[in-house]
Amino acid sequence: MQSFELLLQGFSVALQPTNLMWALLGSVLGTAIGVLPGIGPALTIALLLPVTISVAPTSAFIMFAGVLYGAMYGGSTTSILINTPGEAGSMMTALEGNKMARAGRGAAALATAAIGSFVAGTIATILLTFAAPFIAEIAFYFKPADYFALIILAFTSVAVVMGTSRVRGFIALFLGLGLGVVGIDKMTGAARLTFGVSGLFDGIHLTVVLVSLFAVGEILYVASRYRPGVGDVITLKGQAWMTKEDWKRSWKPWLRGTALGFPMGALPAGGSEIPTMLSYTLEKKLSKHSEQFGHGAIEGVAGPEAANNAAAAGMLVPLLTLGLPTSATAAVLLAAFQNYGLQPGPFLFTSNPELIWGLIASLYIGNVMLLVLNLPLVGIWVKLLLIPRPQLYAGILVFAMIGIWGLSGQVIDLIVMVTIGIVGYVMRVYDFPIAPVLIGLILGPMAEVQLRTALAAAQGNPLVLASTPLSAIMLTIAVLFLLVPFVLKRLKANA
């Protein structure tokens, strides 16, 4: 029950008035960016990084957690009311939720989404509370070869699972790996891929890449294919919240969605797309009202929304215990830790317990705040959708520019912003997944350090990389990730 005591200590940190204020600020910001198009949690946290460097790390991470959870809540609002999922994980919600809203049951859809998010978020945070220390304990025994194998597994799964094509997934990953090696090599002092440009000696900061891909690339893309007035906001006046029947039909999907979302979010490349899709399919199969699916079935909102929020909490498990990001948002959170000179992983649990446990406790508090912010106040959030799109996207570019210029005040960063922004545009036009670039960029250098450490300890013998049972298993799974789709394709072709 040591976790419980530590959690109580965490609450004493998270309940301090200043930290409550940061949690509220994060939750409000998160909900707002979840509702607004063109800006997601990863981009928001990246833009906040330079500002929060003067804030204590515990407070900053409490705010980031609010942004992360808040975006999940806010995303469902736009999915339901205007049929435009703000986040990948809200796609399934839009399918049924918007149909419900069109049938005059928007309030019920919003309620099951928000309460489901709360239930899933709270259960997943409880699971995180007890699973994280346990995994961190195991991670103490990880050797460099194990870490290297784990990162290779994350690479292959991210590239294979995300997006629609394996080749394009891997191209995105290798782009990230290429960007990650730019700068002075920390072990030998050699300048790599800098081509004599001194501004690149420090490497390309994750914020620059992330903001360029997510903000600049998105602005260029949406501007080129802008359709004014996509989706009308459905009004909720006079609609009833959840009926007794709705509660009856929702609670099981909430729990099943949580059971799917949490473990899948914790897996490398888990993300929120797959668990939400699986939850939707599962609910469709199990529902007594399967004929309503496609026409506004409440189970189709309750399950995926719960899975979405549980996946967000699940994502924190590998990040906090192993320092392994499994999504774009986790990658930028890792960058935030590194900004403070902290390395998430097992040692952070012992060296900085007030940060880790304050952060976990704030997730419980944030969930309560978000339920209050989202259910009764949904009308206010909907008003955000009235911001004219031209000025909204123009404002996003201004903030993106400040985020990049504020890093080091170097023109080279602005040049990199334009270049990578154009790459982001092309990636959207030709359907390349974007998250693998960030995973490659942040995990590539980590993989290199672990590989060198492992090889140095074994005097260059490459067999050391598969010398522990864990590393051998993870490398085997990574190879299977690559091969199984080919084998299945062959078998299908032969059948």
Partner 1 sequence: MSNNPETSLPQTGTGDGARAAPRPWWLGLCVIALGCVCLYGTSTLAQGARYAGIGPGLFVTIAGGGLVILGVMLLVQIARGEQFEAQDAEDATGDEKANPVALGTALVAVILPIFTMNPLGLPITAMLSFTLVARAFASRKPLLDLVYGAVLGSAAWFLFTRLGLQLGGFLPFAGF
**Which residue lies nearer to partner 1 by CB, 78 or 352?**
78
- Binding status of residue 294 toward partner 1 by CB under 8 A: no
Q: Closest separation between CB of residue 461 and partner 1, Å?
A: 8
Which residues, 419 to 448, sit near partner 1 by CB under 8 A? Answer: 421-422, 425-426, 428-431, 444, 447-448
Coil, helix or strand at residue 191: strand
User: What whole-number distance in Å separates Cα of residue 128 and Cα of residue 115?
Assistant: 19
Partner residues linked to 191 by β-bridges: 184
**Which residue lies nearer to partner 1 by CB, 310 or 447?**
447
- Binding status of residue 34 toward partner 1 by CB under 8 A: no
Interacting residue with partner 1 among 38, 74, 346, 366 (CB under 8 A): 38
Q: Closest separation between CB of residue 150 and partner 1, Å?
A: 17
Which residues, 186 to 205, sit near partner 1 by CB under 8 A? Answer: 187-188, 190, 192-193, 195
Which residues, 458 to 487, sit near partner 1 by CB under 8 A? Answer: 459-462
- Which stretch of DSSP H or E encloses residue 163? none
Interacting residue with partner 1 among 7, 29, 216, 443 (CB under 8 A): 216
User: What whole-number distance in Å separates Cα of residue 39 and Cα of residue 398?
Assistant: 13
Interacting residue with partner 1 among 170, 280, 349, 481 (CB under 8 A): 170
State the number of binding residues for partner 1 (CB under 8 A): 87
Interacting residue with partner 1 among 17, 238, 291, 391 (CB under 8 A): 391
Q: Which of 369, 321, 373 is nearest to 347 (CA)?
A: 321
Those residues whose C-beta lies under 8 Å from the C-beta of residue 165, and which sit 6 or more positions away, are: 431
Interacting residue with partner 1 among 219, 242, 313, 443 (CB under 8 A): 219
**Which residue lies nearer to partner 1 by CB, 137 or 431?**
431
The dihedral through the CA atoms of 157, 134, 451, 423 has a sign that is positive
Interacting residue with partner 1 among 387, 397, 472, 482 (CB under 8 A): 397
Which residues, 229 to 248, sit near partner 1 by CB under 8 A? Answer: 230
Q: Closest separation between CB of residue 391 and partner 1, Å?
A: 6
Interacting residue with partner 1 among 9, 16, 165, 290 (CB under 8 A): 165
**Which residue lies nearer to partner 1 by CB, 376 or 462?**
462
Q: Site mask, partner 1, residues 60-79, x = CB under 8 A? A: ------------------x-
User: What whole-number distance in Å separates Cα of residue 389 and Cα of residue 218?
Assistant: 13
The C-alpha torsion from 490 through 477 and 173 to 93, rounded to 10°, is 80
Q: Closest separation between CB of residue 8 and partner 1, Å?
A: 33
- On whether the CB atoms of residues 32 and 74 are closer than 8 A, the answer is yes
Partner residues linked to 184 by β-bridges: 191
- Binding status of residue 312 toward partner 1 by CB under 8 A: no
- Binding status of residue 102 toward partner 1 by CB under 8 A: no
- Binding status of residue 394 toward partner 1 by CB under 8 A: yes
Interacting residue with partner 1 among 21, 167, 372, 480 (CB under 8 A): 167
Q: Which of 284, 278, 353 is nearest to 311 (CA)?
A: 278
CA distances to 106, 133, 221, 266 from 127, in Å = 31, 11, 39, 11
- On whether the CB atoms of residues 327 and 45 are closer than 8 A, the answer is no
User: What whole-number distance in Å separates Cα of residue 118 and Cα of residue 237?
Assistant: 24
Strand 183-184 to strand 191-192: parallel, antiparallel, or no bridges (unpaired)? antiparallel
Residue 184's φ and ψ, nearest 5 degrees, are -75, 130
- Binding status of residue 3 toward partner 1 by CB under 8 A: no
